[in-house]
Amino acid sequence: MSLTAARLRALLPALALAALLAAVFWRQPRAMSYFGLNLLLNLAMPIIFATLAQMMIMALGDLDLSIGPFVSLAATIGATVLPQQPAWGVAALAAAIGVYAVAGALVERRKLPSIVVTLGLSFVWLGCAVMLLPTPGGRSPQWLIDALRWKAPVLPLPIWTACIAALLGHLLITRSAFGTAVRGLGGNAAAMAKAGWSTLRLRATVYAAAGGFGVVAGLMLLGQSTSADANIASRYTLISVAAVILGGGEFSGGRVSPVGAVIGALTMTLAASFLTFLSIAPDWQIGMQGLILIGVIGLRAAIDRWEERA
């Protein structure tokens, strides 16, 4: 692929986000303000970290069907155990991350399909969440609520969060030895094993990192909503996959873009906000997000065909 085509592909997520922002500002000019941007993008913060969790798994060529229920479980732990018994709450969250790591090791050792393993995990996470919180309720720790309501300087907190998450993801996946190993494992696991890497340890570490991002997403979601529900993040699984693909990622291992994934998460959130401004029922939000994803993928395919003919 030529440099021009590669740049066009890389710019597609940003162009989609810019087009949505322009449409929102045209429809509602008052959204072009500190308060308006904060309102538009506030719900993007937990989605960003759920997307980064999914991106870590997809970098290996795997797919995580449990990230939505896992984020819900993290939120329910934060709403029930964490406020009353902080030490036990932290231990429960750490244990959940440990189970994620064990799942990654199981996928590697037994060569099991990640879809099957994570689908099974999704029922485990959901069951644990229901046991902790059978009905919606609980209470977020006050420090978490205050942190999510902090008025950041110059730009709203969601934008700062997106920039920091994109930078950390870029450094982790693109600029570090660990990221190189992760992409290598996703691209050619046999070559990584011959090079002396422990593929078992590496895959378990990546799954644990995804669990860590999922915990951050769950706590952020809890801080925003102030209470929890066993199904509070049920849509996050599909949204996170769509955001990674929208941001330039592919189902083949080793091909992900942390910056693009964050932009994809912002775009998916903004699509829902745009329909709200148009007074369209929330049931149509998923359809709008799907159309954006199909449009960007179609443009990406058109660029590839143009490159082949050139």
Which domains can be identified in the chain, with CATH numbers?
3-309 (1.10.3470)
pLDDT of the residue at 255: 80
| φ, ψ for residue 137, nearest 5 deg | 165, -145
pLDDT band at 278 (very low <50, low <70, confident <90, very high): low
pLDDT of the residue at 50: 96
Q: Which residue has the higher pLDDT, 42 or 94?
A: 94
Helix axes 258-277 and 285-309, enclosed angle (nearest 10): 130
DSSP string, 113-164: -HHHHHHHHHHHHHHHHHHH-SSSB----HHHHHHHT---SSS-HHHHHHHH
- Rounded to an integer, the average pLDDT of 6-31 is 79
Alpha carbons 163 and 159: distance in angstroms, whole number: 6
pLDDT at residue 150 greater than cutoff 80? yes
Q: Percent helix, strand and coil across the chain, each rounded to 5?
A: 75, 0, 20
pLDDT of the residue at 284: 66
For 189, the token pair is 């696991």
DSSP string, 77-118: HHHHHHHH-HHHHHHHHHHHHHHHHHHHHHHHHHT--HHHHH
Contact 72, 218 (CB under 8 A): yes
Dihedral angle computed from the Cα positions of residues 173, 174, 176 and 181, in that order, rounded to the nearest 10 degrees: 60
Most confident by average pLDDT, 28-42, 92-106, 269-283: 92-106
pLDDT of the residue at 97: 96
Close Cβ partners of 202 (under 8 Å, ≥ 6 residues apart)? 181, 182, 185, 192
pLDDT of the residue at 248: 82
